[in-house]
Amino acid sequence: MRVPPTVQLVLFGGGGDLAHRKLVPALYDLHREGHLPAEVDVVGVDMAEMDDGGFASFACDAATSLGRFFPKDAANQDWDAFEERLAYVQGDVTQAETFERLRERLDALAPDGEAPHRVFYLSVAPFLVEPIVRGLTEAHLLDDIVRSRIVIEKPFGHDLESARALDRTLTETIDESQVYRIDHYLGKETVQNMLAFRFANVLFEPIWDARYVDHVQITVAETVGVEHRGGYYEGAGALRDMVQNHLLQLLCLVAMEPPVAFQADEVRNKKVDVLRAVRPIAPDRVHEVAVRGQYGSGFLGGAEVPAYRAEPNVDPHSTTETYAALKLEVDNWRWHGVPFYLRTGKRMPRRVSEVSVQFRPVPHRAFPAGADEAWQPNRLVIRIQPDEGIVLRFQAKRPGPSMLLHPVAMRFDYDDAFETPPEAYETLLLDAIRGDATLFMRADQVETAWEVVQPVLDAWADSPPAEFPNYASGTWGPAAADRMLAHDGRSWFEPLPPDPTPAGMAPEAAADARPASVAQEG
C-alpha cells in the first residue's frame, strides 16, 4: 500500500515516555529514510506546558539520545526538514476545548484543497482512551472513515469483560476499520519473517502438522525485573502483560493456516481461527496446565538483585506473578494432539524470545549399537530477539572411521544476511499511516485471546499462592513449570546460545564462517 500524499499524525501523550523512547525516534528514522510523505505534520498533544519550539526540543532530545544524529549544533538537513513539520497543542484531553483547538490547528496546517489522512496515536493511560475517542468524534475529526484512524496501545482491557466494554465504547462512535490496536511484537522483523518462512518456502510446510511435530515451545524471557513499572505491574502480572497478547500472537503465527492472500482481514481471520480452536481450559484443570511464579532475590551477571516484593511500588506481600507458563492445545485437523507450551518470566538467566518446534523421532534407527548415544530430536528454533535468526538442529556423522552420530546446527543469522532491521515501531507507524491493518489486532482477536486466559485469571484470583517467591532471580522459573512438562515426558529447552563456536574452530574463524556454518551442539 502506498503512503498517502498528505498525512497529519497526532500523538496524544506526545510529551510522554513512549513518545520520547520510541515514537518520535521512529518517525524521525522514517523521515530520514524517505518513507514519510513531504506533506506530513507531527502534532503532539499533552498536558505539559510547551509550544511548538518546546516540542521540537523534546523531539530533538529523543532522537539524539538514541544516536539518530549528531547534536543539533551540527549541520543536519534531515533534522531541519523534520523539525519544520512538528507542532504542539497543549491541553487536557477530558475537556472539549482541547479538541476544538486541535481541529483548528490541523485545519490550519493542512494544504489548501487537500483532505489529509489523519492518524491519532493514543499513547496514554487506558482510562483516557474513552474521553479521547469521544472528544475526537464530537470535534468531527473521525468522520472520514477512509482517511482517519486511531492507534491504541495495549493493554486492551484488564480481562474479558473490560475488553468487551472497551470495544463497545469504540464501535459505538467509530467504525472498527478505523481502530488499529498495536502490539509492538508484531512489528518485529523476525516475527513477520515467520510468515515468510512458512508460506514462501515449500520445504517445511508439508511437515508442519501433527504427523511430524511433537510439540512447540514459545519462550519470552527477560533478565530485567519490573524496574520502575511496579505500580503498573502490580495490577497486571505476567499473564496479562505478556501471555494474553505477545505469546498468543506468536502461537497464532506458528499454528495458522496459509492465507489465501496477504491482506489484512485474511491474515487476521486465520489468526482468529487458531484462537477459537484453542481447547478451553476447564476450571478444575487450571492447576494441571498453568503455572505461576514470582522471583525472589538472586544473582544476575555476578550482581545481587532484589526480590519482586522488595521492588519500588510493590506490595511487600504481593501475590502478583512475574512468571507464567501454560500448556495449550489447538483442536483442529492440523494440530490435534500437539501441545503448545508457553512461558514468560522476569529475572531469568538470559534475555531471549524464541519459538522451538520439536519434530517427532524417526520411526526406526537403523544404526550400529552406540552410534546414536548423543541423539537429540530434530528441532527448528526461530530466534526473535536478540541475535535474530533461525536454527535447524539435525543429526550428522562425526568424522572418523566409525558411524557415530552427533547433533549439529545449521544457522541463519538475520544481521549477516540483511541490513539491520528497522525498529518495530517504524514498521507499525508506517503501516498505520498507509492504512494497512495486517499487523494490528482486531476486536474479535483481542476478545478471543482473553477468552483463552480468563479461566486461569479467575482460578488464580480465587486461590492466592502461598509459596511466593518460588524461584530465585537468575534461574529459569519455578520447579512446578518443569513438573508440568515432565508429566508429559518432556522438558523445557534451554534457549540456544546466541553465537556458539564450532568445536575446534577459533572464535574469529567461527565468526567468518557464520553465514553458512553448521555448528556442533553439545
CATH number of the domain that 216 lies in?
A: 3.30.360.10
Q: Which cell numbers hold the place of 79?
A: 533534522
- Residue 450: inside a domain: yes
Tell me the C-alpha distance between 141 and 155, whole Å: 24
With cell 476499520, the residue in question is: 177
* Residues 419, 478 within the same domain: yes
Structural domain contains residue 413: yes
High-pLDDT (> 90) share of the chain, % = 52
Both 264 and 329 in one domain: the answer is yes
203 and 142 within one domain: no
Is residue 210's pLDDT more than 90? yes
Answer yes or no: do 363 and 507 share one domain: yes
Cβ-proximal residues to 411 (8 Å cutoff; 6+ apart), any chain:
389, 390, 391, 392, 514, 517, 518, 519
> Which residues carry a binding-site annotation for substrate?
184, 188, 222, 241, 346
Nearest 5°: CA angle at 189, between 188 and 194?
A: 105
Domain boundary (108, 132, 153) is at 153
Q: What is the pLDDT of residues 496-506, one digit of tens each?
A: 665 544 433 33
SS3 133: helix
In a domain, 29, yes or no: yes
Does one domain contain both 259 and 373? yes
Same structural domain, 295 and 374 = yes
Closest CA to 162 of 462, 450, 457, 440: 450
Is residue 160 included in any domain, yes or no?
A: no
Residue 522, in any domain of the structure: no
pLDDT recorded at residue 81 = 87
Question: How many domains does the structure of the chain reveal?
Answer: 2
Could you give the CA distance from residue 212 to residue 492 in angstroms, rounded to a whole number?
19
The domain of 71 spans 6-153
180 domain residue, yes or no: no
| CATH number of the CATH domain containing 41 | 3.40.50.720
CB hemisphere CA count around 335 (13 angstroms): 23
**Same domain, yes or no: 133 and 209:** no
Q: Flag whether 463 is in a domain.
A: yes
Are 143 and 196 part of one and the same domain?
Answer: no
Question: Residue 362 gets which letter from DSSP?
Answer: P
- Mean of the pLDDT values across residues 92-112? 91
The pLDDT tens digits for 146-205 are 899 999 988 788 889 988 988 888 888 889 999 999 888 788 877 888 888 999 999 888
Is residue 20 flagged as an active site residue? no
Please check whether residue 3 is in contact with residue 38, taking contact to mean a CB–CB distance below 8 angstroms: no
Looking at the structure, tell me whether residues 148 and 191 fall in a common domain: no
Statement to judge: residues 61 and 131 lie in one domain: yes
Q: How far apart are CA 179 and CA 164, in angstroms?
A: 14
Q: Where are the beta strands (DSSP E) in 332-440?
A: 339-345, 352-359, 379-385, 389-397, 405-413
Q: Which of 312, 276, 310, 272 is nearest to 294 (CA)?
A: 310
Look over the chain and give the mean of its residue pLDDT values, rounded to a whole number. Answer: 87
In this structure, are 132 and 200 located in the same domain?
Answer: no
The tens digit of pLDDT for each residue in 326-338 reads 999 999 999 999 9
Q: Is 22 helix (H, G, I), strand (E, B) or coil?
A: helix
User: 175 lies in a domain?
Assistant: no
Which residue, of 129, 153, 177, is where some domain finishes? 153
Q: Are residues 133 and 281 located together in one domain of the fold?
A: no
List binding-site positions for NADP(+): 92-93, 154
Query: Considering 135, 153, 171, which residue would you say is the last residue of a domain?
Result: 153
From 140, 246, 317, 336, the catalytic residue: 246
